[in-house]
Chain A
Amino acid sequence: MSLLTVLILAAALIGIGLYGALSQQSFVMLMMGFELMLNGVLLAVIGFWSLGTGGTPKGQLLAIVVMAVMAVEMAVGFALVTAVYRRRQVDTTEGLGTLKQ
């Protein structure tokens, strides 16, 4: 386990998450893609903190900020899914045509 392998794993998670976020039709699955990307980011931050900076406490603070971003993304995302479903009765991206033209 070195910084190189940790960062490559983080890159793999970000790639998978990007695939999910771009390809999924269902809103909730799309958000899973975002979560997976943020997961990779979190791993990269912790990897840099642990193996690159010699354990500066500010590195863990950055990781906590990333976790707050994750929580905000989840909360606001699900609220948006609820709001959209209430107005339009759709749960997939294909169901929304308002911004198409």
Chain B
Amino acid sequence: MSPIDLAFFVLAAVAVLAGWRVFATDSMVRASFLLLVSFIAVAGIMLLLAAPYIGVATIFMMAVEMMVMALFMVAFMMNPAGLNPMMMVHQDRLAKVAGLAAFVALTAAVILTDLPDRAVSADASVIHDLGIELLGPSMLPFESAGVTLLAAMIAAVVLSARSGRFGPSDEGSRPPGLVPGGDPAGRIPDDERSDKTESGHHDEHES
């Protein structure tokens, strides 16, 4: 077994184990760092696969992203430090079956497919080629990705802003009733909820 194979199998084991532990650990901060470990292992495999630019970019991007994730964990979630045992899952069996089925199906597809075998040559200048490609023939998709990121930034600001330009986005809105003039089917608007006396089955989580 060559050193590259050995490194690949070690990194693959780290990636899968850390990825699995993400959903099995008590602490949410620890979960985000385990996800980071998984990403770094995958980035290491990319380095082995002769993709240094993508690999290093993945490491940087994921390091920042997981720090943001850890901050969100502390800000929003209970039990960020994992001091108490915690199991917050629903439809566990269905999810396990679905995950396993996805793995088995994709693996079967990979094994049954006649895979191409044209490795990138060892002396190829892949980063140089990528740069020429990005600012040459493929500039439109590359710039489109940039514009998409800009749109995502604007969307994130709009979504997370406390209010829209003309006040809260759902102020005064009332969903249509189930029967004409009747009670709305879903959520009762906030300003009406206080004088509703019904102990509805649909309203219990929202107060």
Q: Is B81 an interface residue (CB 8 A)?
A: no
Partner of A29, one of B88, B118, B187: B88
Chain A residues with Cβ below 8 Å from B94 are: 22
Q: Chain B, interface size: which category?
A: 35 or more
Chain B residues with Cβ below 8 Å from A13 are: 15-16, 19, 38, 42
Q: Count CB-based A-B contacts (< 8 Å).
A: 273
A15 with B23: CB separation less than 8 A: no
Chain B residues with Cβ below 8 Å from A1 are: 4-5, 8-9, 48-49
CA distance A60 to B57 in the complex (A): 12
Consensus secondary structure, chain A interface: helix
Partner of A60, one of B16, B130, B162, B202: B130
A24 with B89: CB separation less than 8 A: yes
- Shortest CB distance A60–B (Å): 5
- Shortest CB distance B149–A (Å): 6
A19 with B96: CB separation less than 8 A: yes
A24-69, CB < 8 A from B: 24-29, 31-33, 35-36, 39, 42-43, 46-55, 57-58, 60-61, 63-65, 67-68
Known contacts A79-B157, A82-B160, A100-B202: does B100 contact A15 (CB below 8 Å)?
yes
- Shortest CB distance A39–B (Å): 6
A29 with B31: CB separation less than 8 A: yes
A28 with B76: CB separation less than 8 A: yes
B119 with A50: CB separation less than 8 A: yes
Chain B, 110-153, contact with A by CB distance < 8 Å: what is the 0/1 string? 11000111111100101001101110001001100110110011
Chain B residues with Cβ below 8 Å from A11 are: 102-103, 106-107, 110
Partner of B99, one of A19, A60, A71: A19
Chain B residues with Cβ below 8 Å from A99 are: 186
CA distance A54 to B117 in the complex (A): 8
Chain B, 37-74, contact with A by CB distance < 8 Å: what is the 0/1 string? 01100100110111101100110010001001100110
Known contacts A18-B99, A28-B77: does B69 contact A94 (CB below 8 Å)?
no
24 contacts between A and B (CB under 8 A): A7-B110, A8-B107, A13-B16, A13-B38, A15-B99, A16-B23, A17-B19, A18-B99, A22-B91, A23-B92, A28-B76, A29-B28, A49-B120, A51-B119, A53-B118, A55-B120, A57-B132, A57-B133, A58-B133, A60-B54, A75-B155, A80-B159, A83-B159, A97-B203
